[in-house]
């Protein structure tokens, strides 16, 4: 849901339209777009009360890398190529910490079909927080 109370989803033609609530247990998709075929850009919001923050690290909360990779996989599944699982991660780089209430943008680009591979970039405040290549099985 964006600040106006609207939620968005791409209509698969590069346009953005309203979407039914797309809230997971610990974060929400705010806005989704497909600027070009095979590419998805998702703005997400992680609740400051997320259990990920409470255990990692007390007094200095950051979003763990596994949670970031989970959001990348969810983006691929929900707005890319359907049900799949991670069969590999290559060239993963964690460059910046994500803290509670930080604005997050996830960008994925399909790089290959067999096996399905996706370059990804998790951005926080416009800067790369995590980058890499996700290999998916079952996509």
Instruction: Give the range among 61-70, 80-89, 115-124 with minimum mean pLDDT.
Output: 80-89
pLDDT computed for residue 57 by the predictor: 82
Does the global pTM surpass 0.75? yes
- How far apart, in whole angstroms, are the C-alpha atoms of residue 44 and residue 58? 23
Answer yes or no: is pLDDT of 13 > 80. Answer: no
CB-based contact 46:27 (threshold 8 Å): yes
What integer is the mean pLDDT of 101-117?
89
Give the pLDDT mean for 79-96: 88
Task: Choose, from 16, 45, 56, 94, the residue flagged as catalytic.
Answer: 56
Residue 70 in this model has a pLDDT that exceeds 50: yes
CA of 22: how far to CAs of 6, 63, 97, 114, 128, in Å? 11, 20, 25, 29, 24
Catalytic residue list contains 81: no
pLDDT tops 80 at residue 12: no
Residue 90 CB-half CA count within 13 A? 9
Q: What structural domains and CATH numbers belong to the chain?
A: 8-137 (3.10.129.10)
Asked whether the predicted pLDDT for residue 45 surpasses 70, the reply is: yes
Q: What is the pLDDT of residue 120?
A: 97
Give pLDDT, residue 24: 59
pLDDT at 80: 67
Q: What is the structure's pLDDT at 17?
A: 36
State yes or no: pLDDT of 106 exceeds 50: yes
From residue 10, give the alpha-carbon distance in Å to each of 37, 39, 117, 129: 12, 11, 21, 24
pLDDT tier for residue 93 given thresholds of 50, 70 and 90: very high
């Amino acid at each position: 849901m964006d600040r106006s109370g609207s939620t968005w989803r791409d209509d698969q033609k590069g346009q953005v339209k309203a979407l039914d609530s797309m809230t997971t247990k610990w974060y929400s998709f705010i806005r989704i777009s497909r600027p070009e075929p095979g590419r998805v850009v998702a703005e997400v919001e992680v609740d400051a009360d997320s259990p990920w923050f409470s255990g990692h690290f007390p007094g200095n909360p950051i979003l763990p890398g596994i949670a970031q990779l989970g959001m990348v996989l969810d983006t691929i599944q929900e707005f890319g190529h359907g049900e799949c699982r991670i069969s590999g991660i290559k060239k993963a780089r964690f460059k910046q910490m994500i803290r509670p209430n930080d604005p997050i943008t996830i960008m994925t680009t399909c790089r290959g079909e067999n096996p399905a591979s996706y370059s990804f970039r998790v951005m926080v405040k416009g800067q790369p927080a995590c980058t890499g290549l996700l290999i998916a099985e079952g996509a």
